A and B are shown apart, each in its own frame.
Chain A
Amino acid sequence: MRAADAIIKALEKEGVKHIFGIPGGAIIEVYDALFDSGIKHILTRHEQAAVHAADGYARATGKVGVAFATSGPGATNTVTGIATAYMDSSPIVVMTGQVAKSLIGNDAFQEADITGITMPVTKHNYLVTDENELLKTIKEAFHIAGTGRPGPVLIDLPKDVTTAEVEFNYPEKITLPGYKPKYRGHPRQIKKAAELIMKAERPVILAGGGVILSNASEELTKLAETIPAYVATSLMGKGAIPETHPLSLGFIGMHGTKYANYAVQESDLLIAIGIRFSDRTTGRVSDFAPDARIIHIDIDPAEIGKNIEIDVPIVGDAKLVLQELITHITYRKRKEWEDKVEGWKKSYPLRYRRDNEKIKPQFVIEKIWELQPDAIITTEVGQNQMWAAQYFRVRKPRQFITSGGLGTMGFGFPAAMGAKTAFPEKQVVDIAGDGSFLMNVQELATCVDYGINVKVAVLNNMFLGMVRQWQELFYDERYSATCLRCKEMSIEKIAEGFGAVGMTVERPSEVEDALKEAFEIDAPVVIDFRVDRLENVYPMVPAGAALHEVIDEEV
């Protein structure tokens, strides 16, 4: 059969239900094959958005997300999306068209060396030069993307490969001699960890995105309750334990809760699970958790000892390791530590100055949480992201979807599209800044076209807010290129222009009603919340400071 048809058949075999993408000459053959398929294709308006949507789909479901793009500009437009997925270990497969084999290397029309370009930001990538390798490649790609530490895989398909004739024998097995993820933790190391845990007086669990990726949330909660130990998460770990759980400390790091940061700093044992100790999480490394022994559980051996020295390394899948670890642990109350942490929680709650005149962005998020605590939340990047992380108390894994590693503005809205495509019955809300929203605003057309009824809450401060905050605090209020001077811009009209529903909200008293209305409308809705322009995110650990060196605001 035609290779293009074999590709689509292979995707069906892999259980693919949705593909996001944009066609073009080099991949037209594959699109032609897609025409007769049961797989639903969603035509985005930008390839970057297609990849973010596939990524959002993957993060919401745990399945591999798929995106298509044509050669050259189509392919290069995917790069930000791929890098975003790479930094957050999200499993996606991106297929790009490529010029015919005979033209490769000749700077042909719409040629780009996309495998070269994406080498540093993919878990693996392929340029298929032999149609007989095609099916094996697809099989491998899905396997690599979804297993071990997940990540993006790109397959570049020269046009003449897609038009070739192949036999459809989709391989059952794969042979990758160099790829053998280790799932079971070493029993001796696990025992050692258990001994340290039993001896610890001030144990804290630090959970990252890996816990969510390995579906280990239940085990995590059980471990926390069994020890018992408080649980702080990274931004990516939000939802690993319900943030309404008495042992939850919320998230740590630059804008994490004070009590999470203090607890980690004063712990005598840190049980780090599926976390990579990014600088936004640890603060100044040399002063990170100075008294703590550290146990690190991670499926990727390269993460262990990369940024922080580790006492007990355990390489393995978080779920399996925790199941084993729990069997070695018995409950022991640690009254003094508990009193101390509970004291911090009481003394330093997240708080902001309430206002009856100006809309506080935090207030908007609190209301979203009150009205739709089970909504899937995506975020953009900046202040909006940090407020969402602080004030939306996530109760389930895969409920909070954010670009943690790359920090990609423009991620949240298409990611919401992806999540909503996977779960049309759920409320999906993108919490956005005005700057970020404009970076992929064209996807409103896609939402309207396909009835993808996501809600976007724009916290509109007419600034690139987070950068403005840094300029205010560290650069003498020199607001260089952060003021988005567009008082005349109407987000409401932009939404309407695309055929979606737009709203503008200027008073705190209108926030709740507007949200209620938006959640009831069966259409994509964008609400422009005109928020207090100069509101800052607190608490804040300045870049390069230690976690306990927190700046806070008087309230």
Chain B
Amino acid sequence: MRHTIAVLVEDRPGVLARVAGLFRRRGFNIESLAVGVTEKQGVSRMTIVVSGDDRTIEQVTKQLNKLIEVIKVSDVSKNSVERELALVKVSATPQSRAEIIEIANIFRARIVDVARDSLIVEVTGDEDKISAFIDLMKQYGIKEVTRTGKIAMQRGSKALE
């Protein structure tokens, strides 16, 4: 089973290395990890996607909690909004360009760069949507893809703090 775990950490040097190192050392497999600042000064939020059975996830949570700079760990797999952002550089000929733009529109994606024989498309959404989009782009020839990794937030008024 895949789980999405949100981790609030003190924003100090080395925290990311500590968290990533913990996963490697304990044999937990990170699928994606996204980090950014939060509304609180000095606090960052990591979103970590990890797969494993319930026991593994329990250990992941407990071991993360043991890190001194970790303030809060929460499994946000259920009932949450999940997003990822991808930039896709796709080959575009005069013939295919219109088609690509049309597909991008359907996916509410945006064209953020135009070159003579390629486009960069920015797409956000849940993982399935992004994968589907990338899949469709394949027929035109993908030059490069970069994805941010997932971020997530639980629905409702309750907040992680």
Interface residues of A (CB under 8 A from B): 115-116, 119-120, 123-124, 127, 129, 144, 176-179, 300-302, 305-306
Known A124-B68, A178-B71; contact A301-B62, beta-carbon cutoff 8 A = yes
Residue in B closest to A151 when the chains form the complex, CB atoms: B66
Instruction: Give the docked Cα–Cα distance between A177 and B67 (Å).
Output: 11
Interface residues in B29-69 by Cβ distance below 8 A to A read 55, 58-59, 62-63, 65-69
Instruction: Give the docked Cα–Cα distance between A120 and B66 (Å).
Output: 12
Known A302-B59, A306-B59; contact A178-B14, beta-carbon cutoff 8 A = no
The reply to whether B58 and A115 contact each other, CB–CB distance below 8 Å, is: no
Scan B70-109; emit 1 where CB is below 8 A from any A CB, else 0: 1110000000000000000000000000000000000000
Instruction: Give the docked Cα–Cα distance between A116 and B20 (Å).
Output: 12
Known A127-B13, A178-B71, A306-B59; contact A301-B65, beta-carbon cutoff 8 A = yes
Nearest Cβ on chain B to A290's Cβ, whole angstroms:
19
Give the residue of B18, B25, B65, B71 whose beta carbon is less than 8 angstroms from that of A302.
Answer: B65
Instruction: Give the docked Cα–Cα distance between A397 and B58 (Å).
Output: 33
Is B21 in the interface zone, CB < 8 Å from A?
yes
Most chain B beta carbons < 10 A, residue from A115, A177, A300, A306: A177
Give the residue of B18, B66, B68 whose beta carbon is less than 8 angstroms from that of A300.
Answer: B66
- Total contacts A to B, CB within 8 angstroms? 39
The reply to whether B66 and A302 contact each other, CB–CB distance below 8 Å, is: yes
Is B17 in the interface zone, CB < 8 Å from A?
yes
Instruction: Give the docked Cα–Cα distance between A302 and B69 (Å).
Output: 16
Residue in B closest to A148 when the chains form the complex, CB atoms: B66
The reply to whether A178 and B70 contact each other, CB–CB distance below 8 Å, is: yes
- Collect the chain A residues with CB atoms within 8 Å of residue B13's CB: 127, 129
The reply to whether A116 and B70 contact each other, CB–CB distance below 8 Å, is: no
- Collect the chain A residues with CB atoms within 8 Å of residue B72's CB: 178
Give the residue of B9, B21, B59 whose beta carbon is less than 8 angstroms from that of A178.
Answer: B9
Instruction: Give the docked Cα–Cα distance between A394 and B62 (Å).
Output: 34
Is B127 in the interface zone, CB < 8 Å from A?
no
Nearest Cβ on chain A to B159's Cβ, whole angstroms:
16
Instruction: Give the docked Cα–Cα distance between A242 and B63 (Å).
Output: 34
Ordered by A's residue number, 28 sampled pairs between the chains whose C-beta atoms are within 8 Å are A116-B17, A119-B14, A119-B17, A119-B21, A120-B21, A120-B25, A123-B68, A127-B14, A129-B13, A176-B68, A177-B10, A177-B71, A178-B9, A178-B10, A178-B65, A178-B67, A178-B68, A178-B71, A178-B72, A300-B66, A301-B65, A302-B63, A302-B65, A302-B66, A305-B55, A305-B58, A305-B59, A306-B59
Known A127-B13, A302-B63; contact A119-B68, beta-carbon cutoff 8 A = no
Nearest Cβ on chain B to A35's Cβ, whole angstroms:
32
Instruction: Give the docked Cα–Cα distance between A302 and B59 (Å).
Output: 6
Nearest Cβ on chain B to A96's Cβ, whole angstroms:
15
Instruction: Give the docked Cα–Cα distance between A116 and B63 (Å).
Output: 18
Further 18 A-B residue pairs, CB within 8 A, beyond A119-B21, A300-B66: A119-B17, A120-B25, A124-B68, A127-B13, A127-B14, A129-B13, A144-B68, A176-B68, A177-B10, A177-B71, A178-B9, A178-B10, A178-B68, A178-B72, A302-B59, A302-B65, A305-B58, A305-B59
Residue in A closest to B58 when the chains form the complex, CB atoms: A305
Instruction: Give the docked Cα–Cα distance between A144 and B68 (Å).
Output: 9
Give the residue of A120, A179, A306 whose beta carbon is less than 8 angstroms from that of B68.
Answer: A179
Give the residue of A115, A123, A305 whose beta carbon is less than 8 angstroms from that of B14.
Answer: A115
Nearest Cβ on chain A to B80's Cβ, whole angstroms:
23
Instruction: Give the docked Cα–Cα distance between A119 and B20 (Å).
Output: 11
Instruction: Give the docked Cα–Cα distance between A305 and B55 (Å).
Output: 8
- Collect the chain A residues with CB atoms within 8 Å of residue B55's CB: 305
Nearest Cβ on chain A to B130's Cβ, whole angstroms:
33
- Collect the chain A residues with CB atoms within 8 Å of residue B17's CB: 116, 119
Nearest Cβ on chain A to B26's Cβ, whole angstroms:
10
Nearest Cβ on chain B to A108's Cβ, whole angstroms:
19
- Collect the chain A residues with CB atoms within 8 Å of residue B68's CB: 123-124, 144, 176, 178-179
- Collect the chain B residues with CB atoms within 8 Å of residue A124's CB: 68
Instruction: Give the docked Cα–Cα distance between A120 and B22 (Å).
Output: 7
Nearest Cβ on chain B to A413's Cβ, whole angstroms:
30
3 cross-chain pairs, A with B, having the tightest CB-CB distances, nearest first: A302-B62, A178-B71, A124-B68
- Collect the chain B residues with CB atoms within 8 Å of residue A300's CB: 66
Instruction: Give the docked Cα–Cα distance between A129 and B13 (Å).
Output: 10
Instruction: Give the docked Cα–Cα distance between A305 and B61 (Å).
Output: 13
- Collect the chain B residues with CB atoms within 8 Å of residue A177's CB: 10, 71
Nearest Cβ on chain B to A118's Cβ, whole angstroms:
11
